Amino acid sequence: MNKNLIRTDHGGGITQLALARPPVNALNPEFLGEIDVRLSEIESGADVRAIVITSDLPVFSAGMDLKEAQEFTVEEQTAVVDGLNGTFCRLYGIKKPVIVAVNRAAIAGGLFFVLAADYTIAGKGAKFGLTEVRVGVDFPVTPLEIACAELTPSASRRLMLGGRNLDADAAREMGIVDEVVDPAELIALAMEVAKDYAEIPAMAYSRVKMQLRGRVIKKLRDTIESQIDPTRNGWFTEETLGAMKALMAEAKRKA
């Protein structure tokens, strides 16, 4: 049994996948691979009509595991790039409705669950951001292309170049999330939205979603298959380790 991911089938074609890697659902190659496999299983289920992604922990996802990443070899850097590319390409390309419910924070890699979703609900107090630039890294192809496709140019500029977090209301104003609710209502509302989406004719939904995303998905799959993403062969630079340590120290001061 995979303790980092909890699948619950709620009936009516609605399947919930809860992220559960303590303490903050930080992403590393192994966890990304587990998510990819589980998404593939859920996507292939004939009875699944809508997918709800949640967190079983106090934080939705804090992005890459910086503590581990400080020790990454070049090969491990490539592995996490491949994990980010493959997992979020799969999530972005799932032809079934994907609803995401965010508690507390979806930061850096964690924000791509949101940007790849079809509908996102945030609890009040949630934070959102793309802090990669402050960690000293640029973007692998899948995160980059999804961000460019799903964010407005001004939102991309603020998030990707500024590297600071937004609160839930600001994220809603930018179109990053669709609704902001009391945290106590978060999961129940996500299930209600999933129920509504599950009633949409499945073939039509799949076709329209591919009309919207097909060109980006093809580009991503071609780049992944040909292994030409430039971040694969040494993602980190001479700045990265110092930037990671500085960001971790800042987070510790604010804790």
Fold adopted by 5-185: 2-enoyl-CoA Hydratase; Chain A, domain 1 (3.90.226)
Taking CA atoms, 240 is separated from 107, 141, 246, in Å, by 18, 19, 10
Please, are residues 4 and 19 in contact by the beta-carbon 8 Å criterion?
Answer: yes
Strands of the 119-123 sheet, one edge to the other = 5-9, 14-19, 50-55, 98-102, 119-123, 179-181
| CB-CB neighbours of 47 under 10 Å | 10
Give 155's DSSP letter. H
SS3 category, 5: strand
Q: Tell me: cis bond preceding 23? Omega within 30 of 0 counts.
A: yes
Q: pLDDT 10s digit of each residue in the chain, 255 long?
A: 578 999 999 999 999 999 999 999 999 999 999 999 999 999 998 899 999 999 999 999 999 999 899 999 999 999 999 999 999 999 999 999 999 999 999 999 999 999 999 999 999 999 999 999 999 999 999 999 999 999 999 999 999 999 999 999 999 999 999 999 999 999 999 999 999 999 999 999 999 999 999 999 999 999 999 999 999 999 999 999 999 998 888 877 876
pTM above 0.85? yes
Among 76, 129, 82, 25, which residue's Cα sits nearest to residue 236? 76
Q: At what angle do helices 74-93 and 141-150 cross, to 10 degrees?
A: 40
pLDDT at residue 17, as a whole number:
98
pLDDT at residue 176, as a whole number:
97
Residue 190 tokens read as 């996500």
pLDDT at residue 1, as a whole number:
53
Kind and range of the H or E run holding 160: none
pLDDT at residue 251, as a whole number:
77
pLDDT at residue 255, as a whole number:
66
Please, are residues 177 and 189 in contact by the beta-carbon 8 Å criterion?
Answer: no
Residue given tokens 């992604």 in the structure block: 53
Query: What residues does each domain of the chain span?
Result: 5-185
SS3 category, 179: strand
Please give the backbone phi and psi of residue 59, each rounded to the nearest 5 degrees, phi first. -120, 140
User: What does 22-78 look like in DSSP terms, one character per residue?
Assistant: TTT--B-HHHHHHHHHHHHHHHT-TT--EEEEEESSSSSB--B-HHHHTT--HHHHH
pLDDT at residue 2, as a whole number:
77
